[in-house]
Amino acid sequence: MKAQTLFIISLVVLFSCNAGSEKNTETNKAIQDSVQSYLDAYNKTYKELNIISNEASWMTQIRIVEGDSTNSVANNKAQEAYAKFTGSTENIEMAKKYLIQQEQLTPLQVKQLKAILYKAANNPETLQDLVKTRIKAETEQTEKLFGFDFKIDGKSVSTNDIDGMLSHEKNMGKRLKAWEASKEVGKGLKSGLVNLRDLRNKTVQGLGYNDYFEYQVSDYGMSSKEMIEMLQKFNKELYPLFRELHTYARYELAKKYAVKDVPDLIPTHWLPNRWGQDWSSLVDVEGINLDSALKTKDAEWIVKQGERFYVSIGFPELPKSFWEKSDLYPAPADAKYKKNNHASAWHMDYDQDVRSLMSVIPNSEWYETSHHELGHIYYYLSYSNPEVPILLREGANRAYHEALGSMMGMAAMQKPFMENLNLIPKGSKTDEMKTLLKEALNYVVFIPFSTGTMSMFEHDLYAENLPADQFNKRWWELAAKYQGIAPEKARGEEYCDAATKTHINDDAAQYYDYALSYILLFQVHDHIAKNILHQDPHATNYYGNKEVGKFIAEIMKPGASADWRKLLKEKTGSDLSAKAMLDYFAPLMDYLKKENAGRKYTLPEL
């Protein structure tokens, strides 16, 4: 009797649970349907406003005419409409309301709702006058930056001209003039940067962030403290190699310029890059003279060759509109307008309208840059698929975009790849250690600039409210500490040398994206080389390998709908780590120690 009673009770409980489960499922579905209707409507409007906003921004970048406010007025209007929608109190309240029930929603819905709140924090309706003021200030700063007339000895020059002088000129007086000319633009940007810092901080504080740096970092699911600690960790791990490179560069540059007394800090005008972030042109590798090979090509060939590479590994040809609407080459010498001189990729409609803004000339730098920018373009096209909502058509995180673009640029510069394209003779004898050294002077040298000088300056700017009368002082303190470089003579606060870097103005508080992208680049490249190509990571040829293309496409396709940490672990087998980058450059340490024997080290040991 007892057993029969227990059996009946069990049946009652089972039926009750099933009924409850069915009821819960129905409730969850009803909530999910309601949320989906809201998200569908949001995504539709978000896309429409982005098209208008992107078109307006595009015009401010490709056609800057002094005294003509047509583009800036249109841009301000478009940005204000975008800001009004994304920061509306209604959207903020709706997203918060639905997130209270997030356990009953799908992961994709939760991601979109959180994205809505993240975007709202940059444009809250409760601070709409502040947002309008910030939009206007950002447009004006962009026009000042890219509309600046660089001059040497009273003659107008382009940034390509300045970069060319810093790469090849041996006359120290001319080099110094070129470097100083590149910094003149900062003077007129300082007051705008101070204003933008205050406006950006106040805007995001409206939705609970302490400062703009914290806001941007939160997109990674991290706190400012966690990000700073990670950046410092990567910098520390690569520091011993950088210290050897710094010592080597000091002595080799002194020899090149016939300077007897080797300085403790490298004078900035000795370096080939305006910010000292890339020293690779210090080394020429015999047997590899890409610039010479590219002299026979035109600028269009450079970009078309980039497309041929992606097509060879399985990606589609670029849309016809890419070639019709992009702005790929320098403005004519007699043009009555100026354009943004910094390479960028644009996803105009979150679908197939993709464009690039460049100033391509046939040299090795633009050859690599073109492959990099097309990496962004193909990433856009890959996640523009029905499985990824408009709101999540972004990189898995911001560093993924840069990593995959940079990786393709690096792959296109490796010897077997270039031999395959007959850019260098097949079987060319090269000094492999010199090749590795040249790469290190690019990739390793970039780490202290990106993790240190840039990221720490922007942290101090936003999180510590760095006083305006200390901008230049702090910038050069950080450059000396992290990069071991210094200007020939002290530069006062009438200058704002940090603001000469475009990202400080128009891509603020995000430069660590590039640092993390280099770490990610080597991790993904290492996996491709060893597990797909079965080649030495130092000498790979991606060209024509469909398996490589498939692997990269699988990383690109989910966009931001994937968890960036899980995606990396799934594809490479490990969490984000500098190990692959350290392994790649490990053979260089012994070589540099021999080269530096008897030389004075001026950077401290850790």
pLDDT tens per residue, range 165-190: 999 899 999 999 999 999 999 999 99
Query: What would the DSSP string read from start to end of 510-569?
Result: -THHHHHHHHHHHHHHHHIIIIII-S-TTS---TT-HHHHHHHHHHHTTGGGS-HHHHHH
> How would you classify the pairing of strands 155-156 and 151-152?
antiparallel
Looking at the chain, the whole-number percentage of residues with pLDDT higher than 90 is 90
What is the value of pTM for the model shown? 0.91
pLDDT recorded at residue 66: 86
C-beta separation of 213 from 141 below 8 A: no
pLDDT greater at residue 524 or residue 68: 524
pLDDT tens digits for 381-421? 999 999 999 999 999 999 999 999 999 999 999 999 999 99
Residue 363 has pLDDT above 90, yes or no: yes
Q: How far apart are CA 23 and CA 242, in angstroms?
A: 62
Per-residue pLDDT tens over the stretch 585-597: 999 999 999 999 9
Tokens of 480: 């000396």
Q: Under a CB-based contact definition with an 8 Å cutoff, are residues 216 and 510 in contact?
A: yes
**Dist CA 43 CA 66 (whole Å):** 37
Give the separation between CA 179 and CA 168, rounded to whole angstroms.
Answer: 13
Q: What is the pLDDT of residue 286?
A: 85
Residue with tokens 């600028």: 299
Higher pLDDT among residues 6 and 510, named by residue? 510
Section 124-144 average pLDDT: 95
Class of the domain covering 148-215+230-595: mainly alpha
- 301-351: pLDDT as tens digits: 999 999 999 999 999 999 999 999 999 999 998 999 999 888 999 999 999
The helix (run of H) or strand (run of E) holding residue 152 is: strand 151-152
d(C-alpha 19, C-alpha 25), whole Å: 10
| Mean pLDDT of all residues in 266-275 | 97
Is residue 6 predicted with pLDDT exceeding 50?
Answer: no
The per-residue pLDDT for 606 is: 80
Residue 340 CA to residue 57 CA, distance in Å, equals: 11
For residue 22, what pLDDT band results from cuts at 50, 70 and 90?
low
- Please give the pLDDT value at position 289: 86
Is the CB of residue 310 less than 8 Å from the CB of residue 405?
no
| Structure tokens that stand for 548 in this block | 């490589």
Interior CA angle at 134 toward 111 and 560, to 5°?
A: 20
Confidence band for 9, pLDDT divided at 50, 70 and 90: very low
Task: Look over the chain and give the mean of its residue pLDDT values, rounded to a whole number.
Answer: 94
Q: What's the pLDDT at 342? A: 86
Nearest to 195 by CA among 416, 508, 405: 508
Q: What is the DSSP string of 161-217?
A: HHHHHHHH---HHHHHHHHHHHHGGGGGGHHHHHHHHHHHHHHHHTTT-SSHHHHHH
**pLDDT value for 21:** 57
Question: Tokens standing for 123?
Answer: 């444009």
Q: Is the pLDDT of residue 149 over 90?
A: yes
Quick: pLDDT tens for 534-565.
999 999 999 999 999 999 999 999 999 999 99
> What does the pLDDT read at residue 513?
97
Q: Would you say 514 and 447 are in contact if contact means Cβ atoms under 8 Å apart?
A: no
Average pLDDT (90-107) is 96
Nearest residue to 517 via CA among 606, 572, 581: 581
* Residue pLDDT, tens place only, 503-518: 999 999 999 999 999 9
Beta pairing, strands 485-486 & 266-267:
parallel
Band (20; pLDDT cuts 50, 70, 90): low
Q: Which long-range contacts (CB under 8 A, 24 or more apart) does 68-73 make?
A: 72/139, 72/140, 72/143
Tell me, what's the pLDDT at 23? 59
Amino acid sitting at position 41:
A
What DSSP string runs through 25-60?
A: HHHHHHHHHHHHHHHHHHHHHHHHHHHHHHHHHHHH
Q: What percent of the chain has pLDDT over 70?
A: 96
Q: Say if residue 16's pLDDT is above 60.
A: no
Quick one: three-class SS letters along 264-325?
Answer: CCEEHHHCCCCCCCCCHHHCCCCCCCHHHHHCCCCHHHHHHHHHHHHHHCCCCCCCHHHHHH
**237 versus 281: which is more confidently predicted?**
237
In the predicted structure, residue 499 carries a pLDDT above the cut 90: yes
Q: What pLDDT, on a 0 to 100 scale, did the predictor assign at position 1?
A: 45
Contact 124, 87 (CB under 8 A): yes
As a whole number of angstroms, the distance between CA 225 and CA 96 comes to 26
Query: Quick check: 27 pLDDT over 90?
Result: no
Cα R_g (the chain), whole angstroms: 26
